[in-house]
Amino acid sequence: MRDKRMKKIEIPKWGNYLRRTWRERFANSLSKEEQDEIWVDDFLWHICSWDKGRCLKKEKAITAFLQQTKPKCTIFYQFNDDAYLLENADTLLINDLPYIQDNMDYNDLYVMDWKGKWTFVMTHEPECGPYFIQID
């Protein structure tokens, strides 16, 4: 991360909490049964790939993410509890994200606004995502 004002803080073992928070914020329009039908327990981003929520995809998702103000946001993963809090992250770029293409522990990545107003998701499947969801 090139911006010296940006601050990255490791928040170990926050993965479960952040995944639960993400689900409550971005999948709450679906019933438990609807979430089970699309295997949200396996991948939170299935709400996007199964078209069960309003989201932007591909380049539109990237553009929306880059345009967000990011005074505080979190980064976390689907399959591990590593997580980060970023402060003053307005200049955060896609290449700055700790995403590792061929590593299942680090390639289903979620960036979530601290207030839960938006999320940006990168997946392990090249044909799926990235995705961006914004809550009004």
User: What's the pLDDT tens digit per position in 80-103?
Assistant: 999 999 999 999 999 999 998 888
Residue 4 confidence (pLDDT): 67
Helix (H) or strand (E) holding 72: strand 72-77
Q: Considering the entire predicted model, what is its pTM? A: 0.92
Which regions of the chain are under pLDDT 50? none
Spatial CA neighbour of 108 closest among 99, 117, 116: 99
Task: Map tokens 């293409």 to a residue.
Answer: 101
Q: What is the C-alpha to C-alpha distance for residues 45 and 51, in angstroms, rounded to an integer?
A: 10
What pLDDT does 72 receive?
A: 96
pLDDT reported for residue 104: 85
